[in-house]
C-alpha cells in the first residue's frame, strides 16, 4: 500500500487553507511578519506540493511598518475558488485589518486589497447557492458581505463558539448536502489545540454541535505530532474527504521544544452518521488515490535567475535598494545603507545543513538562524575574522572567533536533532571553510531558538544578512541531512 509522510509541507507553514479546482489543489499559509506574504502552493494529490509564489508580493498589498512585532502581521488566510475566480481573505493584525484579494489564476497577479469591516481574525469565505457570500471570523460570528466592495450587508451575527474551551477561532463554513457545517479550532494553538464542528440548516444558525467533539485533538497524548488544529476540509475527485491542519513536532526533555514552527499535515476524513470523523494524525498514512510526485526546484540557489525564488522571505519588507541580482551577475548582493538586509528561507527538516559562499568585501555579513530579533544565532565575517554570535533575549554574546584571509569564505550551520531523552531538541554546529580548510567554531543548544523559549507563532528561518556596508553571496545551499 502506498503511504505518504507527514508533514506534507514541513517547516513554518501554519494555518493551512485549501481549495480544489478540478484535479488541482491550492493551499495558502500564514506568513506573520515576513514579506512577501502568504505562500501559495499547488498539488495534484494533496501530498506533493510546489510553491507557486506568494499572494501578497508587492508593498501595495502588504506594507508592514518597521516596528511590526515578531509574530504580528498576516494571520490565517482562507483560500477559496468561486465562480471562476480565486479569493483569499486574511487579516493584517497591526495594520489594515481584514481584507480580501482576488485573482483569475493562482499564480497571480492578485488584486489590491479590498477592506472588509468585520471585527476579529481568521476570516473565512463561503457562498450560498444563490451567490450570497458569508464571512465568519474567530469568536465566532458570521456576516453577509459583498466581496466586490467589502461592505457588510448583515451582521456580524454570533453563531457558535465551540464547546467552552479558550480561543474559538479558525472558522470554516461548508455546505454539505442540506446542512451547513461550521468547523473551528479551540483550546489555544499550543498543546490544547483541537478541532470541533457543529451544523445548522442556515449559515445564521442555530448550530447543533457534534456529539463527539472535539473531532480531533492530540492533547495529553504522547503522539509525536502535537498541537493539532486550525484545519480545513477538501474533497478529492474520487469523493474522499481530507483535512489539512497545523501541528508541531516537539523534541527534547520536558516541556518539549518545537523549533520548526507549526507545519502543514494531512489526514483522511470519514463521514459517519452525518458527522466527519478524524483519527489521530500519523507520521504515515495510506495515500490518496491520485499520486502525482513533482520535481521540486533545487534547494541550492546560485542566484543566476532573473528573479528571486518565492521561498525567500524577509522580515517586514524588502526595499529595492537592499538587494540586487544584477549588480554582480551570478551573485546576490545585499546592501545595508537603508538598514540591515536579510533574506531567508524556512528550516523544513529537523536534520539539515545550510551553507553560503560569501564575499564580505568591507561589510559585516553572514549566515543567521532566526526565530526573531531577540533569538538568533549568527556566523558572520568582518574585518578579517569569522565570529559566532548568539542572541538570547537581552543577552548578546560572541561565542567564538577565527581569523580568515581576505576574500570569499563558506559559512555553514549543521543542525542535528537529538534523541528524545536529551534536554535540547537539537544542536547547531557552525563552521567556516576557506583556503586553509574547514574549521568548526562552535556548537550551540537549539532550545533557545524554539517557540517554547522565544514565544510567538513562527518557526526558524535560515538566511543571509548584512548589517554594515555591502556583501555578495555566490550561492546558498540547504539540504536535509539523512541519518
Tens digits of per-residue pLDDT, 371-382? Answer: 999 999 999 999
Helix (H) or strand (E) holding 394: none
Q: Which percentage of the chain shows pLDDT scores above 70?
A: 100
CA distances from 168 to 27, 62, 144, 180, 229 (A): 22, 27, 20, 18, 11
Q: Do 453 and 332 share a structural domain?
A: yes
Which tens digit of pLDDT belongs to each residue from 166-180?
Answer: 999 999 999 999 999
CATH number of the domain that residue 246 is part of? 2.115.10.20
In a domain, 127, yes or no: yes
CA distance 406 to 200: 70
For the segment 28-32, the average pLDDT, to the nearest whole number, is: 98
In a domain, 303, yes or no: no
483 pLDDT band, cuts 50/70/90, is low
Say if residues 183 and 162 touch (Cβ distance below 8 Å).
no
CA distance 63 to 402: 40
Which tens digit of pLDDT belongs to each residue from 428-461?
Answer: 999 999 887 889 999 999 999 999 999 999 999 9
Burial string for 450-478 (b: 16+ CB within 10 Å, else e) reads bbbbbebbbbbbbbbbbbbbbbbbbbbbb
The upper half-sphere exposure of residue 341, i.e. CA atoms within 13 Å in the direction of its Cβ, equals 25
Q: Which pTM value belongs to this model?
A: 0.97
C-alpha cell of residue 273:
452518521
Q: Do 261 and 327 share a structural domain?
A: no
Domain that residue 378 falls in: 314-480
How confident is the model at residue 47, as a pLDDT? 97
In a domain, 269, yes or no: yes
Q: Do 339 and 268 share a structural domain?
A: no
In a domain, 238, yes or no: yes
In a domain, 222, yes or no: yes
Integer Rg of the chain from CA: 23
How confident is the model at residue 434, as a pLDDT? 81
In a domain, 294, yes or no: no
Say if residues 404 and 231 touch (Cβ distance below 8 Å).
no
Say if residues 477 and 464 touch (Cβ distance below 8 Å).
no
294 pLDDT band, cuts 50/70/90, is confident
For the segment 139-168, the average pLDDT, to the nearest whole number, is: 97
CA distance 333 to 322: 8
In a domain, 292, yes or no: no
For the segment 5-22, the average pLDDT, to the nearest whole number, is: 98
In a domain, 152, yes or no: yes
Say if residues 454 and 71 touch (Cβ distance below 8 Å).
no
Residues catalogued as catalytic: 15, 169
How confident is the model at residue 362, as a pLDDT? 87
Number of domains in the chain: 2
pLDDT value at 423 more than 90? no
Amino acid at each position: 500500500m502506498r503511504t505518504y509522510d507527514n508533514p506534507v509541507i514541513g517547516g513554518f507553514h501554519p494555518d493551512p487553507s485549501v481549495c480544489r479546482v478540478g484535479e488541482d489543489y491550492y493551499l495558502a499559509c500564514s506568513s506573520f511578519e515576513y514579506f512577501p506574504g502568504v505562500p501559495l502552493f499547488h498539488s495534484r494529490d494533496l501530498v506533493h506540493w510546489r510553491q507557486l509564489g506568494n499572494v501578497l508580493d508587492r508593498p501595495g498589498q502588504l506594507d508592514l511598518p518597521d516596528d511590526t512585532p515578531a509574530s504580528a502581521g498576516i494571520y490565517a488566510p482562507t483560500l477559496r475558488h468561486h465562480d471562476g475566480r480565486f479569493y483569499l481573505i486574511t487579516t493584517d493584525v497591526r495594520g489594515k485589518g481584514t481584507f480580501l484579494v482576488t485573482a483569475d489564476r493562482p499564480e497571480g497577479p492578485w488584486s489590491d486589497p479590498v477592506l472588509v469591516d468585520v471585527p476579529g481574525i481568521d476570516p473565512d469565505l463561503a457562498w450560498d447557492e444563490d451567490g450570497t457570500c458569508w464571512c465568519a471570523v474567530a469568536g465566532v460570528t458570521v456576516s453577509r458581505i459583498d466581496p466586490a466592495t467589502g461592505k457588510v450587508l448583515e451582521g456580524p451575527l454570533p453563531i457558535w463558539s465551540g464547546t467552552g474551551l479558550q480561543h474559538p477561532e479558525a472558522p470554516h463554513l461548508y455546505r454539505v448536502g442540506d446542512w451547513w457545517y461550521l468547523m473551528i479550532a479551540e483550546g489555544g494553538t499550543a498543546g490544547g489545540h483541537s478541532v470541533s464542528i457543529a451544523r445548522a440548516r442556515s449559515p445564521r444558525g442555530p448550530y447543533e454541535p457534534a456529539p463527539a467533539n472535539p473531532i480531533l485533538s492530540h492533547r495529553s497524548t504522547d503522539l509525536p505530532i502535537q498541537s493539532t488544529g486550525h484545519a480545513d476540509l477538501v474533497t478529492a475527485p474520487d469523493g474522499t474527504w481530507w483535512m489539512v491542519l497545523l501541528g508541531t513536532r516537539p523534541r527534547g526533555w520536558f516541556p518539549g521544544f518545537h523549533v520548526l514552527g507549526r507545519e502543514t499535515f494531512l489526514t483522511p476524513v470519514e463521514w459517519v452518521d452525518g458527522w466527519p470523523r478524524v483519527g489521530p494524525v500519523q507520521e504515515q498514512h495510506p495515500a490518496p488515490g491520485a499520486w502525482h510526485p513533482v520535481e521540486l526546484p533545487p534547494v541550492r540557489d546560485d542566484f543566476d535567475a532573473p528573479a528571486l525564488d518565492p521561498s525567500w522571505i524577509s522580515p517586514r519588507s524588502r526595499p529595492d535598494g537592499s538587494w540586487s541580482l544584477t549588480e554582480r551577475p551570478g551573485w546576490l548582493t545585499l546592501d545595508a545603507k537603508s538598514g540591515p538586509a536579510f533574506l531567508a528561507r524556512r528550516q523544513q527538516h529537523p536534520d539539515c545543513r545550510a551553507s553560503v559562499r560569501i564575499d564580505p568585501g568591507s561589510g559585516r555579513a553572514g549566515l543567521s538562524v532566526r526565530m526573531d530579533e531577540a533569538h538568533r544565532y549568527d556566523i558572520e565575517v568582518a574585518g578579517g575574522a569569522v565570529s559566532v554570535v548568539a542572541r538570547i533575549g537581552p543577552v548578546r554574546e560572541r561565542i567564538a572567533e577565527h581569523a580568515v584571509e581576505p576574500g570569499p569564505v563558506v559559512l555553514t550551520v549543521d543542525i542535528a536533532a537529538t534523541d528524545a531523552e536529551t534536554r535540547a531538541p537539537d544542536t547547531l554546529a557552525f563552521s567556516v571553510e576557506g583556503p586553509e580548510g574547514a574549521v568548526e567554531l562552535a556548537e550551540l543548544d537549539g532550545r533557545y531558538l524554539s517557540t517554547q523559549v522565544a514565544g510567538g507563532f513562527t518557526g526558524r528561518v535560515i538566511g543571509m544578512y548584512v548589517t554594515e556596508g555591502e556583501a555578495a553571496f555566490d550561492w546558498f545551499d540547504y539540504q536535509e541531512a539523512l541519518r
